[in-house]
């Protein structure tokens, strides 16, 4: 009997629904090949949910996510809802509560220059041609964004402002374990980012990462200070495999890594909890400038779905098949308009045709 997985599908706003249809199409196709089925519960989220239900994360959506094995998320937000107060906006009102509710402590952001697409990178051609295929593993629920005390004090509450970076041994250990496990399925190298020459939290970070490394003797571990890491990424990006970071350093480096590839429509992400549950979404936003035109690149959504196959369902071969199919379509020079400038002779297709090419 074939396996069945049940997921919540939160397509959201802008190009979200357009690229989501393609991801589901590819998921059904790869399921057929690998003998599993997927059932979907589609729910409103973000601006679409504000319009239909008056809130960015309605009760029915939360209930559907509670019942699901994973969440496939599109993108939320757009100019229509920008006038709302910050906490009621699609972004802050939907994604942050989901991260919190499901304890999504680990953010995986693969960033890769696909073969043949190095002209998209803003780096010098001789550097981008050496390749870049990194995975940022970012701690997502701790560190300076959440540490207490935090606030302002002094005369009229205005003299001083402060944030506190707090990491516990347990928090560092669980994110480090994810990084080493991911590295075992890749090039077996972890670069841990810290600022242990000045921060006490970084000293503990380094200690715990070195301790976890003892359980993974095949993996090479390197440490870089954050300032040096930002520089090395520009100078010699090919040296990186898995990049292990705290919440704030990962926030900075994942954007830098995305920019090195130069292709927002290709980048996936996963936010994982301690079990197999995860939320999977493209790294880019709702792209209101091209929404409704049927030209958005569905690859980021499709690769996010592949991360779900790998990390929530353990369907490693199916995930690899999807990743290979994407690489193959690009190698055959089938591209959406956003990638056209990298390939002067490419065959430019729309969103649906790109999905079809990957299924094929």
Given ligand ATP, Mg ion, none, residue 43, with its beta carbon under 5 to 8 Å by kind, binds none
| CB within 8 Å of 153: residues ≥ 6 apart | 159, 160, 162
User: Site for ligand ATP (CB under 6 A): which residue of 9, 71, 296, 325?
Assistant: 296
Residue of 35, 227, 324, 332 marked catalytic:
227
The answer to whether residue 195 is catalytic is: yes
Residue 227: cis peptide before it, omega within 30 degrees of 0: no
- Binding site partner of 278, from ligand ATP, Mg ion, none, Cβ cut-off 5-8 A by kind: none
> What residue has token string 């493209």?
282
Residue 295 labelled as part of a binding site: yes
Minimum distance from CB of 300 to ligand ATP (Å)?
Answer: 5
Shortest Å, Cβ 286 to ligand ATP: 5
**Contact residues for 9 (Cβ-Cβ < 8 A; gap 6+):** 20, 24, 40, 41, 42, 43, 71, 72
**What is the smallest separation between the CB atom of 131 and Mg ion, expressed in angstroms?**
29
Are the C-beta atoms of 115 and 331 separated by less than 8 Å? yes
Question: Is residue 286 a contact point for ligand ATP (CB under 6 A)?
Answer: yes
Question: Closest CB to Mg ion among 77 and 93?
Answer: 77
Closer Cβ to ligand ATP, 77 or 355, answer by number: 77
Q: Among candidates 221, 105, 94, which has minimal Cα distance to 172? A: 105
Dist. CA 323–CA 248, nearest whole Å: 29
CA distance 251 to 109: 10
**Toward Mg ion, which CB reaches closer, 147 or 285?**
285
Site for ligand ATP in 315-354 (CB under 6 A): 338
Q: Is 145 a catalytic residue?
A: yes
287 interacts with ligand ATP by CB under 6 A: yes
- Closer to ligand ATP at the Cβ: 289 or 360? 289
| Residue 264 contact among ligand ATP, Mg ion, none, beta carbon within 5 to 8 Å by kind | ligand ATP
> Using CA atoms, how far apart are residues 164 and 148, in angstroms rounded to an integer?
6
Q: Which stretch binds ligand ATP (CB under 6 A): 112-120, 155-163, 164-172, 294-302?
A: 294-302
Binding mask 233-252 for ligand ATP (x = CB under 6 A): --------------------
Between CA 210 and CA 292 the distance in angstroms is 49
Phi, psi of 334 (to 5 degrees): -95, 115
Q: Is 227 designated active site?
A: yes
Rounded CA separation 208/204 (Å): 6
Candidate list 265, 306, 335, 349; residue touching ligand ATP; CB under 6 A = 265
* Closest-CA residue to 39 (of 1, 67, 75, 76): 67
Tokens found for residue 187: 């090039």
Q: Which residue of 300, 322, 326, 357 would you call a contact of ligand ATP, by CB under 6 A?
A: 300
* 289 is a site residue for ligand ATP (CB under 6 A): yes
C-alpha 287 chain-centroid distance: 16
Contact 291, 15 (CB under 8 A): yes
Closest residue to ligand ATP using C-beta atoms: 285
Which 160-179 residues touch ligand ATP, going by CB under 6 A? none
Question: Binding-site residue total for ligand ATP (CB under 6 A)?
Answer: 15
In the DSSP assignment, the letter for residue 104 is: -
Please indicate whether residue 251 is annotated as part of the active site: yes
- Active-site annotation holds for 3: no
Alpha-helical segments (H) within the chain: 16-34, 47-53, 59-67, 90, 96-101, 125-128, 169-184, 200-213, 226-235, 247-261, 299-311, 316-331, 351-359
Q: Can you give the binding site for ligand ATP, defined by CB under 6 A?
A: 15, 19, 77, 264-265, 284-287, 289-290, 296-297, 300, 338
Active site residues per annotation: 145, 195, 227, 251, 255
Binding-site residues, in ranges, read 78-91, 99, 109, 138, 227, 251, 255, 285-297
């Amino acid at each position: 009997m074939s396996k069945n997985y049940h997921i919540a599908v939160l397509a959201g706003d802008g190009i979200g629904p357009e690229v989501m249809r393609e991801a589901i199409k590819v998921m059904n196709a790869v399921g057929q090949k690998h003998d599993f089925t997927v059932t979907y519960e589609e729910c409103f989220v973000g601006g679409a949910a504000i319009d239909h239900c008056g809130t960015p994360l309605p009760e029915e959506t939360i209930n559907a996510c509670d019942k699901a094995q994973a969440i496939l998320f599109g993108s939320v937000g757009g100019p229509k809802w920008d006038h709302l107060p910050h906490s009621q906006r699609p972004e802050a009102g939907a994604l942050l509560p989901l991260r919190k509710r499901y304890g999504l402590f680990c953010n995986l952001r693969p960033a890769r220059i696909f073969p043949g697409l190095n002209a998209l990178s803003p780096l010098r051609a001789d550097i981008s041609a050496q390749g870049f295929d990194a995975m940022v593993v970012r701690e997502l629920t701790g560190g300076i964004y959440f540490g207490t005390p935090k606030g302002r004090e002094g005369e009229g509450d205005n003299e001083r402002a402060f944030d506190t970076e707090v990491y516990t041994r347990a928090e560092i250990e669980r994110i480090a374990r994810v990084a080493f496990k991911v590295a075992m399925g890749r090039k077996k190298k972890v670069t841990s980012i810290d600022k242990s020459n000045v921060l006490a939290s970084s000293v503990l970070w380094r200690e715990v990462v070195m301790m976890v490394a003892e359980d993974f003797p095949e993996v090479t571990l390197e440490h870089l200070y954050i300032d040096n890491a930002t520089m090395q990424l520009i100078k010699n990006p090919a040296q990186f495999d898995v990049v292990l970071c705290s919440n704030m350093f990962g926030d900075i480096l994942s954007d830098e890594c995305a920019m090195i590839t130069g292709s927002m429509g290709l980048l996936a992400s996963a936010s994982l909890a301690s079990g197999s549950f995860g939320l999977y979404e493209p790294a880019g936003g709702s792209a209101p400038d091209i929404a409704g035109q049927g030209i958005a690149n569905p690859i980021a959504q499709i690769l996010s779905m592949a991360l779900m196959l790998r990390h929530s369902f353990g369907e490693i071969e199916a995930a690899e098949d999807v990743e290979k199919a994407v690489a193959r379509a690009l190698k055959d020079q089938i591209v959406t308009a956003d990638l056209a400038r990298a390939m002067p002779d490419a065959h430019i297709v729309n969103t649906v045709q790109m999905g079809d090419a990957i299924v094929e």
